[in-house]
Amino acid sequence: MAEVLGLALPFFGLIVLGFASGRFMRLPESGLAWMNFFIIYIALPPLFFQLVSRTPFEQLANGRFLVAVIISTLLTFTIAVLVGLWLRKGKLAEATIAGTVGAYANVGYMGPGLTLAALGTAATVPTALIFTVDSTLFFAAVPFLMALSGKEKRSLAKTALDVVYRVFTHPFILATLLGIFFAWLQVRPPAAVEKILDYLANAAAPCALFALGVTVALQPMKKMPAELPVLVAIKLFLHPAIAWLVLSAFGGFEPVWIYTAILMAALPSALSAFVMAKQYNVYVQQASGGVLISTLASIFTVTLLLYLIQHGLIRADLFH
């Protein structure tokens, strides 16, 4: 247990430090702007590029794994949306953001730092692939559902063009695609450039975790909606269970790939759920509360999951 705590406490300790700083330090929220810019555009893209570009290209072309991840995330998202429709009286726009809270894991800020620390460099490829698949899926699904709800006042064709633009201009996805290209060419950047990329990549996870804690602290929840405990349970418990079941059903994956998928699915709701809620001005307080509660609860649930994985108490493949 000491080994697991030694891994989890520093990781979640950065979130707690950020949360405490956001709650007790009287600093304006605008101060986060440059830090978020640094994390999203400067630090995390080199991390994803370095992870992917150093991986043999043949390992990146794993279509079966991509399909399994898409199915598990879509199943979780569908369940969460249906819960939202039921408890929000059929309001599709609110249910869409509720579904995002229940299914979109924090694979960008938290994923790489946790999976690589817990499972080693063998988790690099599945981590990058899961991030790319999940981000693309939600960047596509949310605008289309908002268009169907009438919240997005544009045609489906314009919405589709916007989805393509958002996917292929997102700095994380661009960095991942560039890393795949470099892996295919089997080339590396010049030594000086690679040194800078390493510096930035090493700064990415600590800064992202601290900023996550601050952001969560600055988004207070005034009232607990009835569906929020259900959505948090879907995110922290049902999503990893579905990922485990689907990947086991497909079979043939290395244990570290399955454990990576389970860990990534067990992460709390992504900050993007709150960002999307603000973008469409719907379900904002509830999304904020979902990110807050799931992040705090994940300190215990993810630590427990790490313990079970580290001690071999979870079989990687349920059926084989």
Question: Residue 117: its pLDDT value, please?
Answer: 84
Residues 42-46 have a mean pLDDT of 88
Region of 28 on the Ramachandran plot (φ > 0 left; ψ -120 to 50 alpha; else beta): beta
The 10s digit of each residue's pLDDT in 116-150 is 888 988 888 898 889 888 988 998 888 888 888 77
Residues 276-304 have a mean pLDDT of 88
Domain definitions of the chain by residue range: 2-310
Instruction: Round to the nearest angstrom and report the end-to-end CA distance of the chain.
Output: 28
Q: Which amino acid is at 283?
A: Y
In CATH, the number for domain 2-310 is 1.20.1530.20
Report which of 68, 85, 74, 91 is spatially closest to residue 230, judged by C-alpha positions: 85
Residue 154 has pLDDT above 70, yes or no: no
Q: Residue 206: which pLDDT band, with cuts at 50, 70 and 90? A: confident
- Burial code (b: 16+ CB inside 10 Å, e: under 16) for 11-50 equals bbebbbebbeebeeeeeeeeebeebeebbbeebbbbbbbb
Question: Residue 1: its pLDDT value, please?
Answer: 63
Between 206 and 224, the higher pLDDT residue: 206
Question: Residue 23: its pLDDT value, please?
Answer: 86
pTM summary value? 0.85
